[in-house]
Structure 1
């Protein structure tokens, strides 16, 4: 009886004594499974790479096909290939660069002045109550007055030269930056400010290390909105009394019925705005590397 028990127990003891396979050892993937995984990885990478251009490519394809198939009049909406050729001709002749550089110079000068003025004023209004009480009435008055409505006033007072065009850009860019700066500073977590003050931070260091970094996302939102506004308002200003600029190019092409050149100017405006926005987004990411995205 005891020998039977030993015989039955011996295999169990041997199996228990067998060395177990390490958990890190896994069977190798078969060739079809590995190939399918690689294809999926390449597909995801290609999708992430080309996803931003898919909608634009579809739009350009529709633009090309609509006049070609007779859905719209080709005289008033040339195919995209014709507009692209006109754009290339303007670039080759140097005319596009002349107009683009003129508009870019006006926009950058006015935009820089607006940034230099709006950010300090916004911080002062948000940080100091007396400044807010003193400036709010006049700022509210002008904030609700559209820039284009004041364009004739700027032309009458400052003339049709560069000064009026830069001034209208300053006016259009000032308020988006101002309002977002005020919002960003006022919405800083009070607990962060109290913690920094309890650590002995001076007011200047408190602003530099706590308030400004926390308000940076809102400030950059205002900068991006102001960049778009500055370009749009400048184009309208260049349609009156200008001899160069993208707005002048579009107006002159329309009057001379050079429709492909007109659309080429519109494409140049889109590329300029896209470049402005991309530059600001890159700068914001560089200055906000400490932020953790919501999706981890």
Structure 2
């Protein structure tokens, strides 16, 4: 006879004492994602609906603001003809090159200025001089010196992107929690290890804030630069469509820029989460 057999009352009590298995979270997570997606899409869908209805109802002149369906048709026509792809490629190449160079220059320089006071004292007058000079105000200077080719456009993007990254990096280094610094110094960490283990990780969130700001600036400044002396790019497409009174094509270019900016920002947000996974999530 098996020794595992127990009276029914005892067996029932044991089953009641066992903790219930945790419910699966997959359906709840999917529903949460769907709910968030619907919530975030309501405003955009409402804007598109208003864009479609207002010109047809005579609230605005459809000559200057055509319905969204006509803009979508124009966007599809530009896509199938290859104009949208070629102009988008030209803009993205200039923007990404200028943005990448700005990150490579501004992040190390900002860390150096924020950490070493003599370097900050030496470069502060120049920083204060150039940080208050708008990038688009210097566009004629860049064109005069570098011409109307790719170099001037990449340079103006580089100049515009350097400042948000540089200033946020300097501020990030100088505003590290003093408690962390005192704790690290109490462990007799050498300066290089202190910078590597404390300063740099604590600065990453603020540095990425500057990088995200520079990402949006890189596209906006480039579009303005492409409206002057360019033969390709989304700024050129918008400007040429305006001169030819191809209004749906003009709005199609504007919508493309908005979508590219949104995607670029989401990519930077994903990178920021990847590099700051050590941070404790904030409680709701």
Normalising to structure 1: TM-score of the pair? 0.84
**SS of alignment partner, residue 206 of structure 1:** helix
- CA shift for structure 1 position 191: 1.9
**SS of alignment partner, residue 209 of structure 2:** helix
| Structure 1 residues without counterparts, runs of 5 or longer | 1-18, 27-38
Aligned position for 1:83: 71
**Matching residue within 125, 135, 139 for 1:137:** 125
For 1:163-202, list aligned pairs within 5 A.
Answer: 163-202=151-190
Aligned position for 2:233: 245
Aligned position for 1:286: 274
Aligned position for 2:8: none
Larger radius of gyration: 1
Query: Within the alignment, does 1:68 sit opposite 2:53 as a pair?
Result: no
Aligned position for 1:150: 138
**SS of alignment partner, residue 102 of structure 1:** helix
- CA shift for structure 1 position 100: 0.4
Q: C-alpha distance in 2, partners of 1:45/1:91?
A: 31
Using a 3 Å threshold, how does the CA distance of structure 1 residues 42 and 273 change in structure 2: closer, same or farther?
Answer: closer
| Structure 2 residues without counterparts, runs of 5 or longer | 1-12, 21-26
Q: C-alpha distance in 2, partners of 1:40/1:130?
A: 55
**SS of alignment partner, residue 268 of structure 2:** helix
Normalising to structure 2: TM-score of the pair? 0.88
**Matching residue within 224, 232, 247 for 1:236:** 224
Using a 3 Å threshold, how does the CA distance of structure 1 residues 189 and 24 change in structure 2: closer, same or farther?
Answer: same
Q: C-alpha distance in 1, partners of 2:234/2:93?
A: 12
**SS of alignment partner, residue 63 of structure 1:** helix
- CA shift for structure 1 position 259: 0.5
Aligned position for 2:24: none
- CA shift for structure 1 position 44: 5.3
Q: C-alpha distance in 1, partners of 2:179/2:32?
A: 42
Q: C-alpha distance in 2, partners of 1:269/1:42?
A: 31
Deviations 1:87-128 (A, max 9, x none): 111111111010001000000111111111111111111111
- CA shift for structure 1 position 256: 0.5
- CA shift for structure 1 position 200: 3.9
Q: C-alpha distance in 2, partners of 1:40/1:109?
A: 42
**Matching residue within 204, 217, 239 for 1:216:** 204
Aligned position for 2:112: 124
Aligned position for 1:33: none
Q: C-alpha distance in 2, partners of 1:235/1:291?
A: 36
Aligned residues: 266
Q: C-alpha distance in 2, partners of 1:196/1:64?
A: 60
Aligned position for 1:93: 81
**SS of alignment partner, residue 243 of structure 1:** coil
Deviations 1:255-279 (A, max 9, x none): 0011010000001100110111000
Q: C-alpha distance in 2, partners of 1:68/1:208?
A: 60
Q: C-alpha distance in 2, partners of 1:289/1:43?
A: 25
**SS of alignment partner, residue 88 of structure 1:** helix
Using a 3 Å threshold, how does the CA distance of structure 1 residues 60 and 126 change in structure 2: closer, same or farther?
Answer: same
- CA shift for structure 1 position 204: 2.6
Aligned position for 2:4: none
